[in-house]
Amino acid sequence: MKYAALDFEVGNGNLLSACSVGLSVFQDFQLVRRFGSLIRPPFSAGAFHWGNVRVHGIRRNDVDHAPLFDELWPSLRDDIEGSVIVCHNASFDTSVLCAILDHFHLPYPNCRYLCTVKISQAVWPDMENHRLNTLAEALGITLEHHAADSDAYAAGLLLLASLRETGCDDADALASHLGLRLGVLGGKPCATALEIEKESQPPKHRYPRRHSKKQPSAGTAPAVQPEISSKGDEPYEKLSDRPAKH
């Protein structure tokens, strides 16, 4: 089975702002390709946010001469097509991939994916936390955290470590052993047994609570309500709107 470990770094809360990609391809438990590149986001992705820059150190002027994703895609597509994509927090990285492919009107590759956060939570439940840097340190994996090339490679090694730990031969056996569902790009997401069970439950209907309107007493001016801005008005707030990054 072929595994394509994938990682993106983004310049702001917009999924189209991917500014770096890392890919490590494993075949029969052996690394066969390791690739990393800066990406120049489309202009519509917006300005880089200082919070993201502080995490990965990539500034807008660092990618001025980097290739657009559609220029990079041919060098990635063949390794991803027909493989199992592996990501640490796959909901984020696969969402970035789908958003960019949609933007450039590129077809989705035929592939499935696994999340190493969900895997590690099942395989090593007593770990202090399941962040990539914590797991890498515990398992002796060299990591330059938030460098996409290094993060992708570490996620691939984390999958191999979980296969060895559980005695499973491949991703399908591992998913069956842990009660996970492999996600499909553009289809159903990777999910745990509990998440799958929740999907099958009918939604709960909630009815708004009625509040009686209190009339101000005579001679009392009505209280002025403060103006409330919705979450996400500021760029730093929009960071919380995207899936949590590792």
Within 8 A by CB and 6+ apart from 222, the residues are 216
Greatest CA separation for the chain: 81
Q: What is the pLDDT of residue 199?
A: 85
Q: What is the pLDDT of residue 211?
A: 59
Of 33, 7, 34, whose CA–CA distance to 21 is shortest?
A: 7
Q: What is the pLDDT of residue 215?
A: 57
Strand partners, 24: 5, 34
Q: What is the pLDDT of residue 214?
A: 57
Q: What is the pLDDT of residue 62?
A: 97
Count of beta carbons in the 10 Å neighbourhood of residue 62:
16
Q: Collapsing DSSP states into helix, strand and coil, what is residue 117?
A: helix
Cα distances (angstroms) measured from residue 223 to each of 203, 216, 220, 227: 38, 9, 9, 12
Phi, psi of 139 (to 5 degrees): -100, 5
Q: In what order do the strands lie in the sheet with 30-38?
A: 30-38, 18-27, 2-10, 84-87, 112-115, 183-184
Q: What is the pLDDT of residue 130?
A: 97
Q: What is the DSSP string of 1-65?
A: -EEEEEEEEESSSSGGGEEEEEEEEEETTEEEEEEEEE----GGG-PPPHHHHHHH---GGGGTT
Strand partners, 114: 86
> For residues 136 and 142, is the Cβ–Cβ distance under 8 A?
yes
Q: What is the pLDDT of residue 98?
A: 97
For residue 53, how far is the Cα from the chain centroid? Answer: 17
pLDDT in tens, the chain (246 residues): 999 999 999 999 999 999 999 999 999 889 999 999 999 999 999 999 999 999 999 999 999 999 999 999 999 999 999 999 999 999 999 999 999 999 999 999 999 999 999 999 999 999 999 999 999 999 999 999 999 999 999 999 999 999 999 999 999 999 999 999 999 998 999 999 899 888 878 777 666 666 555 555 555 554 444 433 333 333 333 443 444 455
Q: What is the pLDDT of residue 201?
A: 80
Sign of the dihedral defined by the CA atoms of residues 183, 189, 191, 193, in that order: negative
